[in-house]
Amino acid sequence: MFTNVILAVVNRFIPQINVFMVGLPLQLMIGLVVLMLALPVIGLVLINYMREYLLDITLFLTGG
């Protein structure tokens, strides 16, 4: 969203630049960087959920 606003402002001030040709790789790169930065946090959350899930399953199967 933030990149779209920046590209819209650039398009308004410099109409000679083809924003679609510049914007698509830029948005793709920024999205991949954000995903790369978020993956460790997502991994930790998934590990915690799986740990709780396995504990609940073992409690259910043991009758506890």
pLDDT digits (tens, 9 = 90+) for 10-19: 888 888 888 8
pLDDT value of position 39: 97
Q: What's the mean pLDDT when you consider all of the chain?
A: 91
pLDDT value of position 28: 93
- Integer-rounded Cα radius of gyration of the chain: 22
Tokens of residue 64, six digits = 């506890």
pLDDT at 64 over 80: no
Domain ranges of the chain: 2-62
pLDDT value of position 32: 96
pLDDT at 50 over 90: yes
Burial (0-12, 13-18, 19+ Cβ within 10 Å), 11: middle
